[in-house]
Amino acid sequence: MSALRVSEWQKLPVSLKELCINTTLRCGQSFRWRKSGEDEWSLALHGRILSLRQDSQHLHYRASFPSASLAPPTPPASTVPFAAESVNQDDDDTLALVKHYFNLTPNLAQLYDQWALADPNFRKRAPKFTGVRILQQDAWEALIGFICSSNNNISRISQMVHNLCLHYGPLIGHIGETPYHDFPTPMALTGPKVEQHLQKLGFGYRAKYIYKTAVMVEEKGLDWLQDLCNPENPPLGVDPKPAGELVEGGREGYRRAHEELLALHGVGPKVADCVCLMGLGWSESVPVDTHVWQIAQRDYKFGKGKHSSLTKATYDAVANRFRSLWGKEAGWAHSVLFTADLKTFSERLVAKAEVKEEAVVKTEVNGIKQEADTVRIETITEKRVKRPFVKEEHQVLEVKEEKVTRKRAKRTRN
């Protein structure tokens, strides 16, 4: 087991309205974050293990670096990860990495207000899901992760990506007994036995796509993939540049990136849009899968006439509709509604009502009973309860409401 040089916990002022890691890390953007302690998340990233905690006002982070290169593996390198190189802690760029990875430059609270003003449905659903940010992941990792997402769920995608890292990614170190591997390089996935091995690991038809795409990217070079990035949201360490004004269908750079990604194996329009949004920084990209299509039908009047099914024309119409509503960051707003609809975050509502009636009769005047008030007091207690199969969930919320109604009795004579 490798020794690690563990830094002290640092904190970055970030409110839960600007970033909620318990939601952002579980909503289907990145598939490698794991719980490493109570309210603690960890991931191997850029040659270190990055660990996170959060309170209401701060994001707490620390980095764990390998103290030295690990011994090379004895089994064949085509199926076993290579060792990670040690990172010089004097050149620690973890703060810059955290700010970049979580895309902390945009003011998310202002964006929520902007989207809510433009869209009553967003205004209705978003308040329970503040702090959902679009990550700035490495484009290569996003590409392979979303190839795994085809006809899949978040839990199974996460297991596939975990196996990719475990068998082909560089080992960074351990937290307790748990090994943490960084994401494999394209070259690591081009070996002659990779496809067959991934089949044995349960990747199914995706094994072929991953292998062939790795071969293509290795031939083109990672620079080709990086060149597809939005210059406004470039890779870490690159200065941003303007990318032009939004037009229907998205900016020219977005459309070019989307088109070039479609040439890769296992990449259709939805996967290409996921990579554009979460790996290449094109914020107007709106991935439309069957789940988003259901939202479009339920809340935005799609599903009738020429858009009765999810064709290519309908896919484009949904994305353009959302871009016209939410603007250049349409992909961010779309992800909030996507997250709000995930079963992982849904809550069962338990309601208990208690009714109490009290009748009050006023004094008589000239032998006539005055109006009697019947006061009906109804107390409703609503409790949102965590789903039993989800360990990390929103806190239980209790809402108490009292309703008072009055019934007036008719006057009566003795």
Single-letter amino acid code for the residue at 123: R
**Whole-number Å distance between alpha carbons of 262 and 257:** 9
Single-letter amino acid code for the residue at 178: T
Task: Please answer whether residues 65 and 4 qualify as being in contact, where contact means their C-beta atoms are separated by less than 8 angstroms.
Answer: yes
Q: Tell the residue number behind the tokens 């290409």, with chain if given.
A: 272
Single-letter amino acid code for the residue at 7: S
The pair of three-digit structure tokens given for residue 335, joined into one six-digit string? 């992800």
Single-letter amino acid code for the residue at 248: E
Active site residue 270: yes
The H-or-E segment that residue 98 falls in is: helix 94-101
Residue partners of 62: CB distance under 8 A and separation at least 6: 6, 7, 8, 9, 10, 50, 51, 94
Query: Hey, what's the torsion of the CAs at 44, 46, 47, 52, to 10 degrees?
Result: -40
Judge residue 371's burial from the number of C-beta atoms within 10 Å of its C-beta, 0-12 exposed, 13-18 middle, 19 or more buried.
exposed
DSSP 306-367: GGSS--HHHHHHHHHHHHHHHGGGHHHHHHHHHHHH-GGG--EEEEEEEEEEEEE-PPEETT
Instruction: Identify the CA nearest to 43 among candidates 135, 132, 106, 146.
Output: 135
Q: Tell the residue number behind the tokens 């890779």, with chain if given.
A: 235
**Whole-number Å distance between alpha carbons of 57 and 76:** 48
Instruction: Identify the CA nearest to 49 among candidates 63, 34, 39.
Output: 63
What is each CA distance from 364 to 10, 360, 361, 369, 408, in whole angstroms?
75, 13, 9, 5, 16
Residue from 270, 328, 356, 407 carrying the catalytic annotation? 270
**Whole-number Å distance between alpha carbons of 109 and 162:** 33
Neighbours of 403 (CB within 10 A): 11
The pair of three-digit structure tokens given for residue 330, joined into one six-digit string? 């349409």
- What are the catalytic residues? 270
